[in-house]
Chains A and B, each alone.
Chain A
Amino acid sequence: MSAPAKPLPQMTPLERPYWEYTRRHELRLQKCGACGALRFPASAVCPECFSDTAEWARVSGRGRVLSWVVFHRSYFPAFEADVPYNVVMIALDEGPVVISTIVGIANEGIRKGLRVEATFEDVTPEISIPRFRPVEE
């Protein structure tokens, strides 16, 4: 029997461009057209200056681990086989903090400040999810 499907991102009108870019393996965040602030998650207006003009600006995809947890219990049947799995908070070099998981390293190797960069997992033909892997300083 195959494992149950993992939850997929919600494709709201606000979030759709984010996922259209990740499908092309590009990490892009909204950048305010007035003050230049980057924001995540998506928002209809700039939380800094209230401007409603924004572009989807490509970011480096590089950052550092800010905090992390390891799930030893599964709340989703689909994640049962992954336990223990990590979820991390990453401060991107450009400023915004994002949520993701670290791949390519054991959970025990995750450290605060660990240098990471985005990589993309094609989970369906339409959706690619950003994950992060350790890189050299």
Chain B
Amino acid sequence: MPDLERLKRLRNRTAIVGVGASRQGTFPDLDPYTLAIEAFRSALDDCGLVRGDIDGLIVQGPGGVSFVRMGEMLGLNPVAGATFDIGGFATGPLIQYAALLLDSGICRNVALLYGNASRTEGRRFGGETTVTPGREYSSAFYYYGLTSPGAASAFQARLHFETYGTTSRQLAAVPVAQRRHAALNPQAIKKDSPLTVEKHQRSRFICEPLRLYDYCLINDGGVALIMTTAERAKDRRKRPVYLMGLGRHDTYRHSSLPNYLLWRETMPMAAEMAFGMAGIGRDDVDALMIYDSFSINIWFALENFGFCKPGEAGAFTQDGRIELGGEIPVNTHGGHLAESYMQGWLHQVEAVRQLRGECGARQVRGAEIVQYICRGNVASTLIYRN
């Protein structure tokens, strides 16, 4: 069990002060470094720092994007750099690591740069191209044709349907909601492609029972965040967004198989850690940013973090409850299903923009607290406040 009393000292001690996004889409002439640096320029401008102020360099991206190579390109010799080889699971943990680098005094200003050229590189997130065991599924069962994180989620979706009587039609409410949100987001790739439940139900299976629209986009782009300490944050250009709480709990047991326990034993512990550290409850959260490689992720995040009971997410996500204006808006930017597949990094950008009140037509009125949740064998969460 985490030492919560000690962890509470980290509450509101660090902040995101700058965010940036590159163009999002398909860019055959660009590589992940170029896209990340485009975002970095924008994030520096957002907070009023210059390249030389950065003394912590965290870099992430599919396909082995290197923090050392990034630093070489940027001409930086920071105090510390890092990448975590756990794919999209890394986003929350890397932000947590940045907070520790800052609060400990090791670094003053940490840049977190993300570059992804998966569309251009033809990455399919399946086949014999992958990955660390336990990241989302193992390479242990290729000989049965089992591959892809989508298959692991499909196993879990089936378990949910069979155990609780939920349906693919209910699940459609998730991508439908997120397409509606994307329509209000100029940055969203699918901003002009509305979705209906019927269209979802007619779409082809990829790995049954999951359909095309249950899957995230695969595209190119870059994202950058700049974090600093709470004291220094006050001197930056815009209103700081403070890291109020953080949580993590890993699942290594049975991790060669898709998690048939639906992370019921571990994700709630990450939730308790973050709520305990932040000193808030679920009712205080104004919007959720949930890692959505697949629509079903939303259900597991809502259930295992206590926003609804286990088995009830099918009903809970109906009737606009997770849409703007609803009880708890989820992925107001459109998420991976409709905005862009930046592996959770644009979820942080949206959290910051919501808490700054910069979201225009998709602004959650009076947003004060936004929470990020990533389900999985490395479950993580972040609670932000303005």
Contact = CB atoms under 8 A, between A and B. Distances in A.
Given A70-B205, A75-B126, A89 B143 contact: no
Interface in A73-117: 73-76, 79, 82, 84-85, 87, 89, 97, 99-101, 112
A82 B142 CA distance: 14
B260 A71 contact: no
Given A67-B156, A129-B144, 4 more contacts: A6-B143, A72-B207, A75-B126, A99-B257
Contact of A69 (B127, B208, B253): B208
Interface residues of B, number: 32
B155 interface: yes
Interface string A48-79: 00000000000000000011111111111001
Contact of B208 (A8, A47, A72, A82): A72
A7 interface: yes
A89 B155 contact: yes
Contacts, number: 84
A97 B145 contact: no
Interface in B134-151: 140-148, 151
A37 B243 CA distance: 43
A41 interface: yes
A107 to B, nearest CB: 8
B254 interface: yes
Contacts of A6: 143, 145
Interface of A: 6-10, 41, 47, 66-76, 79, 82, 84-85, 87, 89, 97, 99-101, 112, 123, 129
A126 B385 CA distance: 60
Contacts of A67: 155-156, 158-159, 162, 258, 260
B83 to A, nearest CB: 25
Contact of A7 (B143, B156, B253): B143
Contact of A68 (B148, B155, B253, B257): B155
A104 B258 CA distance: 24
Given A67-B159, A112-B162, A97 B206 contact: no
A35 B38 CA distance: 57
B209 to A, nearest CB: 7
Nearest to A72: B205
B124 interface: yes
A71 B145 contact: yes
14 contacts: A6-B145, A8-B143, A10-B140, A69-B158, A70-B208, A71-B151, A72-B207, A84-B205, A87-B141, A89-B257, A89-B260, A97-B260, A112-B158, A129-B143
A75 B294 CA distance: 17
Contact of A71 (B142, B204, B207, B254): B207
B226 to A, nearest CB: 37
Interface string B164-189: 00000000000000000000000000
Contacts of A99: 140-141, 144, 146, 257
B128 A76 contact: yes
A41 B258 CA distance: 13
Which among A10, A41, A67, A82 has the greatest number of chain B C-beta atoms within 10 A? A67
A41 B148 CA distance: 19
A9 B143 CA distance: 6
A79 B141 CA distance: 13
B120 interface: no
A69 B159 contact: no
Contact of B142 (A47, A76, A85): A76
A47 B359 CA distance: 48
Nearest to A74: B145
A75 B159 contact: no
Nearest to A127: B143
A75 B241 CA distance: 41
Contacts of B256: 41
A28 to B, nearest CB: 17
A79 B151 CA distance: 15
Contact of B206 (A8, A47, A73, A129): A73
A87 B151 contact: yes
Nearest to B253: A47
B224 interface: no
Nearest to B154: A69
Contact of A84 (B155, B208, B254, B258): B208
